[in-house]
Amino acid sequence: MCAAPSDKEAAAICFQTVGLEEDKYRLGHTKLFFRTGVVAFMEELREAKIQTMMSSLQVSNSLGKSGPQRSMQSFIKARLI
């Protein structure tokens, strides 16, 4: 993200990035005010992002293990012969 001169503008940039319309929220001096249903929408976005990140971690983790597991299996097979 780019640097914002104030916290208020940084929050506005975050909401624009997510695609939240300006009439769905208000920025106070120290608080954020959301219309009905916006918090649930934001939570769904967060859950979807977490699920995507966890899935990619699991895939990369399983791909990373396949190489050493195969080499260990070939080592055991060679030792048995």
Instruction: Write the DSSP string, 8-76.
Output: HHHHHHHHHHHT--GGGEEE-SS-EEE-TTHHHHHHHHHHHHHHHHHHHHHHHHHHHHHHHHHHHHHHH
Instruction: State the Cα–Cα distance between residues 41 and 20, nearest whole angstrom.
Output: 9
**Per-residue model confidence as pLDDT tens digits over 38-57:** 999 989 988 998 888 888 77
Domain count, the chain: 2
Q: Say yes or no: 47 and 78 in one domain.
A: yes
For residue 58, pLDDT beyond 60: yes
**Per-residue model confidence as pLDDT tens digits over 17-29:** 888 899 999 999 8
For residue 36, pLDDT beyond 80: yes
Banded pLDDT at 68 (limits 50, 70, 90): low
pTM score, whole prediction:
0.55
Range of the domain at 6: 1-35
Q: Say yes or no: 26 and 50 in one domain.
A: no
